[in-house]
Each structure stands twice: as structure tokens, then as C-alpha cells.
Structure 1
Amino acid sequence: MRESKAHKLKRANDIVTLLNNEYPNSKCSLHYKSVHELLVATILSAQCTDHRVNMVTKDLFEKYTSPNDFAYVNVSELAKDIHSCGYHNQKARSIQGTSLIIVENYNGIVPSTMEELIMLPGVGRKTANCVLGEYYKVPSMVIDTHMVRIMGLLGFTKTKDPKKIELEMMSIFHEKYWVKLTHMVIDHGRAVCIARRPQCDSCILNELCPSVIN
């Protein structure tokens, strides 16, 4: 039977309440002290764990202390500095190119709109939403692999397209939870709803999840 819109909204609200009670301190796990550092860290996090990124940026942000430092660095040198994050050559070009545009076109200030952010090299909606939500406090939703998988299991989406999922989730969940929802889902995905071995018996959402394994 197809779920009514009203029931779906209530179920979404109940799920957020349970997640918020279980993970009250969920937040972005990337370490940063400025919006530009957050942007760099988020670019590095593609296909890489936040833990590894934080290990790399600890020294990286001591060596490069401003957008100018990243903008005019030798790309090969930067690639060596971020080598362990994977795809280091591509990420180095993106970070250097993005930083150069920020310095020369935006007076060193990271832009604060989706339209401007996604025009930067290596910056897609996921990275842009992270910067907007975490630093600029603009209601936004990051759709990562945990969100794609768990929102699908919860029956809130049938697509794997991040942009479509983003729009679907924004129509289901209250705006005040958009930013934190992703962090709570990530924490839940790591602790309980594990991809290859979901712990449905101990899941706080098992009575609200149509994919529960008994």
C-alpha cells in the first residue's frame, strides 16, 4: 500500500526525534578553523575518510595558513602534501584552482551561495551544501553514501541520484533538521545500520523502517 503524504511526514518527524535523542551531539567531523579550511577539507574528503582528512589537514593547515597560500602554491608540492587522501593530483588542482578564484575574484572570501560555489573547481552540490550549512548556517542538506542508502531503506526515496534525494528529503524533513540530519544518519550508519551487516534488532528505527530484517 502506498504511504500517504501525511503519514510519511509524521514518520519522518518521528525518525528525526529518535535520531536526535540517540545522537544529540552529532556534528561535522572535519576539523577546521575557517570557511576556507572547511572547503579544502571537504574537497579532500571525497573518496576518503574524515579521520584520514583530519590527519592530513593537521599539518596542511599549519603549512598553508590562508587562501593565498593555496592559490599560489606549486600544484605538485600540494599534491605531495595531500597524497594519502587519494586522488591527490586531481584534488590538488581543484584546491589550488578554487583558492585562486576565491583570492582573485572574491577578495579571499569563500562565496556563500550555491550558484557561486558550484562554479569553483572540484566543488559540487555535496561540498557546497557542507560549506553553506556548516559555516554560513544556510539550511541545506548534504547527501552522502549513508544518506543515499539509509533514506532508501527507510522508504523515503527510490533513486540513487543525490540531487533528487536532496530535494525529496527537503520536502519531507523540517528545515531546522536539514544540516544535522546528515550527521545523525552518518553516525547511525556507522554504529547500527551498517551496510553489509545492519543491526536491525537493536535499531531505534526498526518500528518505522519498512526494510527491517527480522
Structure 2
Amino acid sequence: MALIPEAEVATVFRRLADAMPGRTLDAKGPKGQPDAFRSCISCMLSAQSLDRNTAAAARALFALAATPEAMLRRDDAAIADAIRPCGLYNMKTRNIRAFCAALLDRHSGTVPDTRAGLMALPGIGRKCADIVLSFTFGRAVIAVDTHVHRVCNRIGLTDAKTADRTAAELEERAPDWAMQDGHFWLIQFGKRICRARSPLCERCPVVNHCLWYEASRAH
């Protein structure tokens, strides 16, 4: 897949903005968490986990401990048992403990509000960092999940093999005005219309700009 022309990128975002609800009043931090610490932990729990399982794991974990200090007072078995619903609980337990220790050691327990600062902490990758920056700190960044990654590379907004590379390309190509709410438009579009299987091209507001659709018609 290639890239759509630079001149068409803003048009695609305008059409998505017109067609999708965007950021809603009830949009909260990752998985509805009230602060940056719990947002980071919840993002870590969400890896390869269904939303409902992540939510169950987060509720159980934060009932045990809701600060890095309290988390480190719990042993591995207690943390792992709490987060069992989200899977990979042994690895995630190690990441949580390493994250909490580093957060206290390097930042006195305060979550940094920069991408570089977040990604320097154990267990925090580009996706998680951008989600926390967008939802918790209100920064104008497009966080890339599986839906956003699929949609952007299917249309031709980006041409990237990984979600991290998609995020980097969006930062370069998306207009500044689209960065604040672009995540919402893209993820809503990916769930409602540009689905992984059987995309609803007949209802697509950007079908005339989509390289995937153009290629499919040629075959």
C-alpha cells in the first residue's frame, strides 16, 4: 500500500470529523481511570485483553492499591491474583512493580507528562504514552490502537507495519487541527464502518480517497 497525496489528508480528516461524533462528554482517561498513575497501569493491563476483562482486573487491583507506594507493599501473588482476568498476569505483575519502583525513584511518584518521560518508564510503550497524554493530560496527540492502525494504513493516511510507526507518520502528516480529536474520529470510523472484516464501503465518507477500495475495484 502507498500513501494518499498530502493534499488529500486534510480532506479525509474533515470528512471523518463531519461523519463521526468525536470526543464525547463522557470520554475519560484510559478505561475511565481518574488519574495519571491509574491510567498508566490500566493501559498496561489492557495489552492483549478484552475491555471487560481489563476493567475487571483494574477494579480488583485498585481496590488493593491505588498508589505506587501501596502497590509495592503488595506481594506478587496478590497483584497477579487481582489482575488474572486480563491475562498475562505474571508478566504484567512484573511490569507493574517495575513501573511503580521507577516512578518513585525517578519522579517521586508523579507521572511525567511528556512522551519521552512516559516511555522511559518500564511497561510504557508509544501507544500507552499517547493515550495517557491525550486523555489524562489533554495533549493534542493521536493515540494509535488496532483500529486506528488498520484504518490509517487501509486508507493510505499512513504506510506503516507497526502501530508505533503509524503514530509517528500521523504526527508528520495529520493537520494540527486534527490532532486533538483525530483518535476519536479514527477509532469510531474503524468500529462502525471501516471494520476489519467486511468494511461498509458503501457507507464510507472517505471512499473516494481510499487506496484499499481503489485497489479492490481494480481486481
Which TM-score band (shorter chain)?
0.7 to 0.9
Letter in 2 for 1:137: G
Q: 1:17: Cα distance to partner?
A: 2.4
How many angstroms apart in 2 are the aligned matches of 1:188 and 1:4?
21
Is 1:18 the counterpart of 2:18? The answer is yes
1:143–1:165 CA contact under 8 A, matched in 2: yes
Aligned-residue RMSD, C-alpha? 2.4
How many angstroms apart in 1 are the aligned matches of 2:165 and 2:199?
25
Q: Which runs of 5+ in 1 are unaligned?
A: none
Q: TM-score when scaled to structure 2?
A: 0.85
Alignment CA distance shift 1:61-1:179 (3 Å): farther
Give the match for residue 149 of structure 2.
Answer: 148
Percentage of matched positions with identical amino acids = 23
2:4–2:156 CA contact under 8 A, matched in 1: no
Q: Which runs of 5+ in 2 are unaligned?
A: none
Alignment CA distance shift 1:201-1:55 (3 Å): same
Q: Which runs of 4+ in 1 moved over 3 A?
A: 1-4, 26-29
Alignment CA distance shift 1:175-1:61 (3 Å): farther
Is 1:194 the counterpart of 2:195? The answer is yes
Structure 2 counterpart SS, 1:12: helix
How many angstroms apart in 1 are the aligned matches of 2:3 and 2:156?
11
How many angstroms apart in 1 are the aligned matches of 2:42 and 2:49?
10
Number of aligned residue pairs: give it: 212
How many angstroms apart in 2 are the aligned matches of 1:196 and 1:88?
30
Alignment CA distance shift 1:3-1:119 (3 Å): closer
Q: 1:23: Cα distance to partner?
A: 4.0
Structural mapping, 1:36-55, within 5 Å: 36-55=37-56
What whole-Å deviation, never above 9, does each CA across 1:167-196 have from its counterpart, x for those lacking one? Answer: 221222223432432233222222222111
Q: Which has the higher helix share?
A: 2
Letter in 2 for 1:173: A
More RCO (CA 8 Å, sep 6+): 2
Q: 1:82: Cα distance to partner?
A: 0.5
Give the match for residue 97 of structure 1.
Answer: 98
Alignment CA distance shift 1:84-1:160 (3 Å): same
How many angstroms apart in 2 are the aligned matches of 1:89 and 1:51?
19
